[in-house]
Amino acid sequence: MVEPVILSADILTQARLWRDDCLRRWNEAGQLPPPRIGEAIFTSPVDGSQRRVVLDLYPLILGGVRGKTRPGVLEADETETEGYTIALNASMINPALDSLLAIILHELTHALDPECDKDIQMQNPATGIRVILSSMQQYDLASERRAFSAMWTADLAQDILDGTYHDPDDAITRYCLRATEFAAFVQYTHHLHQERLEHFSKIVDALKSRGC
């Protein structure tokens, strides 16, 4: 089984701040200003490394995804520096309907997970010939399996505080209604059902142990 990523309280706090900043940006009149929402230095909950992550909100990004994470940061002077960039696709996100915090946490988990580094390297070998994966092959990547669970950490914490958390199966069923990508992941990965339950259980145990 691939072990889950347990996001710290500090990570959840920063993700909530970024969500609020994104919502303010959406509510501003006129064109979207420069895409940079913010940046922060995080401690990876996996290996303890320090990682710089920036969050950008674009009117449109290619690829038909709501969010994408890549190594590297493009600075204002067009130079590329170390870190990770999360790009959110405003054209595919409806703040009134979509779980924006879960989307941010999914991508932030990628930025903080060494398994994501390995998966990116596997798809971009030194030969220069990019490895194209099917949706099913992507679902089987360790980094995706971890991110699809970790993305619900904040929702699980809120459910525990509200007294609405019952068990992993119930939570997974409810969260499928909040994100079509998660619903598709659950639908097409029946072979990962037990692992998913284990992930949710371990995340809930960690949240309860620290008082959410």
Question: Which pLDDT band, with edges at 50, 70 and 90, does 17 fall under?
Answer: very high
Residue 194 CB coordination number (10 Å): 10
What percent of the chain shows pLDDT beyond 70? 97
For the cut 60, the answer to whether the pLDDT of residue 29 exceeds it is no
Across 16-20, 88-92, 146-150, least confident range: 88-92
pLDDT digits (tens, 9 = 90+) for 55-66: 999 887 767 789
Question: Tell me, what's the pLDDT at 56?
Answer: 94
pLDDT digits (tens, 9 = 90+) for 74-84: 888 889 999 99
Q: What pTM does this model have?
A: 0.95
Question: Which pLDDT band, with edges at 50, 70 and 90, does 98 fall under?
Answer: confident
For the cut 70, the answer to whether the pLDDT of residue 32 exceeds it is no
For the cut 80, the answer to whether the pLDDT of residue 147 exceeds it is yes
What percent of the chain shows pLDDT beyond 90? 75
As a whole number, the mean pLDDT across the chain is 93
Question: Tell me, what's the pLDDT at 34?
Answer: 77
